[in-house]
Structure 1
Amino acid sequence: MMTPDYGVYHNVKTPTWRIFTYTYLGFFIASITGHFLGAIFAASATNDPAWEAGFDNGNSVGGLINAVLAPAGGFGKFLTVLLALTIPSACAPTMYTFGMSFMTIGPFFAKVPRYVFAIVSEAILIPVAIIGAKKFYVTFVNVISIIGYWSTVFAVIILLEHFVFRKNNFGLYDIADWDKPRKLPIGAAALIAFFSAFGIIVPCMSQTAYVGPIANAGAGDIGILAGSAVALIVYLALRSLERSWYQR
C-alpha cells in the first residue's frame, strides 16, 4: 500500500535500493511476526479446549486471543483490549488509499475532500465487518479469493504495459502528464481486457458462495489462470490498436 503520497518524505538523494530494502523489511518483519504467532495459536487451538472454544471453528480470532491471554488475568484482558484498538491502524491506510485512488481517476474526484472518501469507505466497511464477525473465516476466505482474481488480472495488464509497450524503460513515463487526460492512454484496452478476463473467471471460479459451471465440471478453480490468459491476449491486441490510433 505504499503509494507515492506515502513516500514524499523520502530524501531524493537516498539510493533506491535502500528505500526498497528498508520499506520491504519494515513490512515483512512486522507482518511475518504476527502471521507466525497467529499460525501457531490457530494450529495449537485443537489441543486446548479453552482455545478451541474461543476460536469457534475459525470464526473468532478475538476469542482465540482472549483465550490465549486469559491465564494472565487482568493484564491479559488489558492486552486483549489493546490489540483490539490496534485494528483501526490496519484499516486507516486502506481507507486513505481508497480516497487517493478515487482522486486519481479524474478532476471531479480530485475536487472532493479526502475525508468524504474516508466516510464512504467506513460506511462500506462497517456492514461488512458486522456480517464478517459472525462468519469470520468464510467471509475472510471469500474476500481474499475475490481480491486474488482481480489483482492478478490487474497485475498482468500492468506488467504487459511496462515490459511490452514501455520496453521496461521508466523514461517513457512522463510524470508531468499524470493529471492531463488528453496525454494519457484512454484506458479502453485495459478496461476491456479486465472485464473480458472476468467473463471467463466467473464460470471458472470455485468458491464457497459460488461455483462456476467449468469449475463444477471437474476443472477445479482455474479462474486466475484462465483470467490471466484472456487478459494477456486481449490487452496485447487492443493496446496495440489503441497506441496506433491515439499515439499514446
Structure 2
Amino acid sequence: MDLPASRTPALPAPFAWHGDHVGIELPGGAALFTTRRGGVSTGPYASLNLGRWTDDDPAAVDANRDRLAEAICLPRAAVAQGFQVHETTVRRVTVAPDPDADLEQADGQATALTDVAPLVLTADCLPVALIACGAVAMVHAGWRGLAGGILAEGVTALRELGADGQIAAAIGPGAGVCCYEVGDEVRAAFARHAASAFDGRNVDLKAIAARELRDAGVHEVHDAGLCTICSDPELFFSHRRDGGVTGRQAGVAWRA
C-alpha cells in the first residue's frame, strides 16, 4: 500500500515531480531521486525501500526495484550499482552490468552507455547526479566521501569517458544544514571551507558540495532543497531521524 501523498513540497526549477519522485532533465541526460512512496515494503521500510542491505524482505526490495526500473523505462538489469563504503571510488561502467556478479566497492558510478543507469542509495547522505553530453554519473556523497574529493573524481570520470562540453550537477534530497549537527571530526574535515558552510554545530553539506562541484569545473549546480531528516517522514527515509532502522532511497541517472 502506498503511503499518503501528504504535504508534497514545491520544487525549485528545473526539478519537477515525476509521479512520486523528484526528477530533473539537463542537457545530455536526466536523473530521478526517489522518495519512499509507491512501493510494497512494510514497517520501518515502508514503502519503496531499495536497499538490499537492510532487514527488509528481499522479495519486497526486488519488487520495489522493478517499480524503479519501470519509472526510468529501463530494465532492472541496466542499473549500475556498487557496494558503498563511504570512500571516493567512482567506477567507470563500460559494459552492461552483470546482475549475477558481486558488487564492486564504489560510491559512484559513471557511464557513457545509453542503456545503463548509474545508481546510488542514500538515507541522509547526498545523491549527486553529474550530467553532460556523452556521459552521466551518480555519486554517493557522505561527509567522508565529500571531504575526500569524490565529486571531483566524478567529474574526472565523465571526462575520461568522453563527456563533451559543460557538466551540470543536481544535488538530490539529503541532510540539510537545518538538521545536520556534527562533531569536531567532521568540522575539521571541512575547515578549508568558508564560515558560511557552518551554522553553529551544524554543517551545510549541500553548500560544500556545490563549492566542490564548481571548483571541479561543473558549469551549473542545482539543489532540490529537500532535507531528508526534517521533511515529512512519509516522504523520505532518514538514517539519523529513524535511529538507523530505515530503508534507502535512490538517485539514478541516465543519458538522454
More strand by share: 2
Asked if these proteins are the same fold (TM beyond 0.5), I'd say no
Q: TM-score, normalised by structure 1?
A: 0.26
> TM-score scaled to structure 2, two decimals?
0.26
Higher helix share: 1
Specify the structure having the higher radius of gyration (Cα): 1
